[in-house]
Amino acid sequence: MAEQPPDAVRAVVRAATGWLAGVLLAAVVSLPWAVEQAVEGASFEDRVGTLPVEISLAHDGYTTLDTGLLGKVYWRRTGPGGFGAVLRSTGPPIAGGTLASYASPAFVQANTRFLDDPEQLASTYGAELRGQVVEGTLVRAAVGGVVGGTVLALTWSAMATRTRRRRWVVAGAVVALGAGSSLGVGWALFRSWEGHVAPGTTYPLPSRPALAFSSPQARELAVQVQPFIEKNARRIRERGDAYRAEARATLAAQISARGEELQPREGEVIVLAEADPQGSFVGVDVRRDLYAALAEVLPEGSVVLRTIAGDVTSNGTVAEAEFVRDEATVTPDVPVVAAKGDHDTDTTVEQLLDAHLTVPDTELVDAGGLRVASARDPAFKALFGGLVVNDTGLTEDDIGERLRAVVDEEVAAGTAPRLSADASDLGSTDDPAAVTAPPSVTVVLHQPRAVAGYLGADLDLVRDRPASLTTPVDDGIPDLPPGIVTYGHLHDAAGPWVVWNTDGDVVTWTVITQLGTAGGVEENPTFNRFSTPFSAPLKTLSVQLQYVNAETGLQTGLVPITFTPGGEASIGGRVDVGLPGGVPTPAR
């Protein structure tokens, strides 16, 4: 017969079980209060155009934009349970110009997204607020459960001398009192909550009655602005549609003419290299069509990786979650590694991770059979360049240097035999291990200064060296980790530049490339010329096919693909880089 536990142990188990049961019961009882407090407490900060706002919940029949000086804008639509959002201005728009710039039509357009498409904003913000309410409810219910469960346990213990029935009656009364109190307090708090108070007199927009304003003056301003918004929104859509149509037509012709030239050579795989899509929905559509067309002519499985060298979004906001989700669908079957750029924020990083993209944080990752390294840009730059924030204490050079230290450690940790096709000329074929090279790494960074920190050399030193893309030379630059280094930020493609690593026993190479903008986005916006998420590209939209030896990880060639601001597609000729076949060779 099994030995029975001591009475003291059984008593402790009974007490713990009773306490846990009380905690669960009290947590349920406290739900009305917990939900009410979570609803009141749900909020976060974001930007609408260049207007910084705090977003919270309301239950007054509207979703509201509180601009401060210009009053409130009400949208007569609510979500589940009758809840809407309140967007409250927390500061002046970040214009980065003179006071006169705040009155310019272009600047007004950049800050009228709520008037143009309130439903999209409300939907995106609703998802974020809903998550906060659920999380806040669980936390508060847990606190209420612990407190209430402890009170129940103490009450039960204090009545140890009473009959069991008497104890249950008292415990039931305590639970009923707690439930009533929770419900009553929650309801009273909800009724007195500022967000539950209906607005006073409102002034609907004649052309759009669901939109109303808190003053006749604000409505009059909106009446003047609305035709401008509608005209420009229509023009933006028409130009975007025309761009897409031109891109599809000319891309089909280019694929038909040059598809055979795009085929990878034996042992090669392809990396799709992009930078700075910067929230362009038109750019997403064009690249989705491009990659689908390439998949029709390239061998199955030959595209193994897509990289994005920063600035996935234009403003790093919660409202850009829709774009990030669209970006993730451009190559649904290909892994994507993205670098955080200075137009991205921690919010963007969370959105990218939620969409199953990889965003390395000064580390190496395995993706598509290659080793990829990246670091997150420490700065944030707002629209129009009016604000640059960097509270990390790190510069771009610093993150480049830190990433280099991580990569150097990886390179030092292991080497792999790589036998060149012409190694027999050097008498080394008897011992393949005699021809070794460090592991190759694909590095993806955003800013040129981060690349300079990684290289340990000024980029001008690399750019100014005589071009030698396929013939090893002593370029005077200390050996780098072999592989690829790509960056963006400047929105103009340049390079490639090949740094030959000739200081050791084996010749390898590192290909450095400055990528253009994959969204065709203007990087120096003015109040008369700036890109929007739905407008046609203002600059050449470009991506690059990088051909890589699947075994060595060394780049062997590239093909630039561009779309002009008019939408005309062009597939460039292949540019060979490195040694033939992508295989290192012994130093002579």
Q: What's the pLDDT score for residue 425?
A: 40
Give the closest residue to 25 by CA, choosing from 165, 157, 145, 173.
145
Tokens of 190: 């909800």
pLDDT per position as a tens digit, 400-452: 999 999 999 888 776 443 434 444 343 344 444 445 667 899 999 999 999 99
Whether the Cβ atoms of residue 288 and residue 257 lie closer than 8 Å to each other: no
The alpha carbon of residue 372 and the mean position of all alpha carbons in its chain are separated, in whole angstroms, by: 18
Strands 303-308, 268-274: parallel, antiparallel or unpaired by DSSP? parallel
Give the closest residue to 30 by CA, choosing from 163, 158, 174.
174
**Could you give the CA distance from residue 89 to residue 86 in angstroms, rounded to a whole number?**
10
* Secondary structure element (H or E) that encloses residue 323, with its range: helix 321-328
* Secondary structure element (H or E) that encloses residue 487, with its range: strand 483-487
73 has which bridge partners? Answer: 65, 213
**Total residue length of the chain:** 588
Q: What's the pLDDT score for residue 430?
A: 46
Q: How many other CB atoms are there within 10 angstroms of residue 548's CB atom?
A: 30
**Per-residue buried b or exposed e for 236-273, using 16+ beta carbons within 10 Å of the residue's own CB:** beebbeebbebbbebbeebbeebeeebebeeebbbbbb
Q: What's the pLDDT score for residue 151?
A: 80
Whether the Cβ atoms of residue 245 and residue 128 lie closer than 8 Å to each other: no
**Could you give the CA distance from residue 306 to residue 286 in angstroms, rounded to a whole number?**
15
Q: What's the pLDDT score for residue 200?
A: 76
pTM of the model as a whole: 0.77
CB within 8 Å of 582: residues ≥ 6 apart: 267, 268, 548, 549, 552, 554, 555, 556
Range list of β-strands (E), 67-121:
72-75, 84-89
Whether the Cβ atoms of residue 578 and residue 498 lie closer than 8 Å to each other: yes
- Token pair 């005699």 is at which residue? 434
What is the mean pLDDT of each successive set of 10 residues along the chain, which is 588 residues long? 62 75 81 86 74 77 71 69 73 49 40 50 71 87 84 74 74 79 83 78 77 77 70 82 94 93 95 94 94 94 95 85 90 94 91 94 93 91 65 89 92 55 41 62 95 91 83 88 94 93 89 95 74 85 96 95 95 94 86
Q: What's the pLDDT score for residue 229?
A: 67
Sign of torsion over alpha carbons 392, 399, 558, 410: negative
Give the closest residue to 145 by CA, choosing from 263, 27, 320, 14.
27
Instruction: Output phi, psi for 307, to 5 deg.
Output: -120, 145
**Could you give the CA distance from residue 444 to residue 308 in angstroms, rounded to a whole number?**
7
pLDDT per position as a tens digit, 337-386: 999 999 898 999 999 999 999 999 999 999 999 999 999 999 887 665 55
Whether the Cβ atoms of residue 171 and residue 148 lie closer than 8 Å to each other: no
Q: Is 542 helix (H, G, I), strand (E, B) or coil?
A: strand
Q: Give CA separation, 302 vs 264, 265, 357, 419, 441, in Å.
A: 8, 10, 20, 23, 19
What domains are defined for the chain?
13-196 (no CATH), 232-423+431-586 (3.60.21.10)
507 has which bridge partners? Answer: 585
Q: What's the pLDDT score for residue 121?
A: 60
Tokens of 444: 């993806």
Tokens of 542: 């470009």
Q: What's the pLDDT score for residue 206?
A: 77
Give the DSSP letter string of 370-429. Answer: EEEEE---S-EE-GGG--EE--SS--HHHHHHHHHHHHHHHHHH--EE---TTGGGGT-T
Instruction: Output phi, psi for 93, to 5 deg.
Output: -60, 145
Give the closest residue to 395 by CA, choosing from 356, 441, 444, 448.
448
Where residue 47 falls (left for φ over 0; alpha for ψ -120 to 50; beta otherwise) is: beta
